[in-house]
Amino acid sequence: MSEAIQTIPAPSEANEPIAASANPAVARCLDAWERANKAERAKGKNRSEASIEADRAYLRAMPPLSGQENIRDFIACVAHAMIVHIFPDHTATKLLYAAQVAHTTTRGRSTPPKTAV
C-alpha cells in the first residue's frame, strides 16, 4: 500500500513566509510592519523601539471589520501576528473577540427582515 505525502509548497522567495504568500491581507500587514521597522531603525531607534512602531503599523494595515471577507482576513492577520509575536496574547484575544462580534452582526444581515402579515 502506498501513501502519498503532501507537502506545503515553498514560498516564492527564500525569506517570504508561507502565510504572506497565502493571504494578501497578511502580506499587506507584514509589508507595513517591515517598512515601519526599517524606517524606525534608519532613524536610529533600537530594535525594541522600532518594533513598537512596526507593531502599530501592522495593526493599522489590518482590514476593517466590515464584510465577511474582511473579517476573515482580519482574523488571519491577528492569527499570524500571534504566531510571530507581534501582538501579545491579551491584545490578540481582544481583537479576535471584536472579529467575532463583527461576524455575528454580518450574519444577521444576510437574512431578509420579516414583515408583519
Tens digits of per-residue pLDDT, 77-95? 999 999 999 999 999 999 9
Name the residue range of residue 53's domain: 19-109
54, part of any domain: yes
- The pLDDT of residue 79 is 95
Does the pTM exceed 0.95?
A: no
51, part of any domain: yes
Number of domains in the chain: 1
89, part of any domain: yes
79, part of any domain: yes
43, part of any domain: yes
- The pLDDT of residue 84 is 93
Model confidence band, residue 22 (pLDDT cutoffs 50, 70, 90): confident
CA distances from 77 to 9, 25, 63 (A): 21, 7, 9
Residue showing cell 473579517: 71
